A and B are shown apart, each in its own frame.
Chain A
Amino acid sequence: KNEVEQSPQNLTAQEGEFITINCSYSVGISALHWLQQHPGGGIVSLFMLSSGKKKHGRLIATINIQEKHSSLHITASHPRDSAVYICAVIRVNTGNQFYFGTGTSLTVIP
């Protein structure tokens, strides 16, 4: 079983919809990252969280350390948001060991 689970695996939304992608993890962490990977492209780091909430433009990321859960929200979704969104955690006491979820593939239809 993967230490990091994401849901849903695939998501299709209409342009303008509010989108939520969830990440649950089963290990103690020091930080959690949300990453974006476009088809055939590299990975861009969106957020790094160790507590609370962060907002950047239309993107909002939250984390609940006690519940071992994080969410990525996209408001007013747009076709250019279509990508794979990956949750990655840094386990405590492992230095730089990042553990990745398998990603959520988002398609936003015009």
Chain B
Amino acid sequence: DAMVIQNPRYQVTQFGKPVTLSCSQTLNHNVMYWYQQKSSQAPKLLFHYYDKDFNNEADTPDNFQSRRPNTSFCFLDIRSPGLGDTAMYLCATSRDRGATNEKLFFGSGTQLSVL
């Protein structure tokens, strides 16, 4: 059974039209991450939550926001998507952070296309 679930699997939106991607987990993990992966590139960390503590990466555009209303759910909001935001968005979880024994559990990703 999938433990990290992302919806939708594919999302098409228009330039400038807000879009929300969702991630849920059944692992009860403390940490949830959002990564952006463009074609043929490595995943890039956008931000993460450690419990309710939000941690933004320095180079994450202000256009990208996140919400974590409870342990199980985390949302990625793109307020005004641009063409350059077309990418795969990956959600991942880990039980804790920083420990050498932590594995990452990934969702299947949401492929976002901005037209």
Contacts and interface: CB of A to CB of B under 8 A. Distances in A.
Interface of A: 2, 4, 30-31, 33, 35, 40-45, 48, 50, 86, 88, 90, 95-98, 100-103
B101 A48 contact: yes
A96 B94 contact: yes
Contact of A96 (B31, B90, B101, B111): B31
Interface of B: 4, 6, 31, 33, 40-45, 48, 50, 90, 92, 94, 97-98, 100-109, 111
A110 to B, nearest CB: 25
B45 A97 contact: yes
A40 B100 contact: no
A88 B42 CA distance: 9
Dominant secondary structure of chain A at its interface with chain B: strand
B39 to A, nearest CB: 11
B90 to A, nearest CB: 6
A45 B27 CA distance: 15
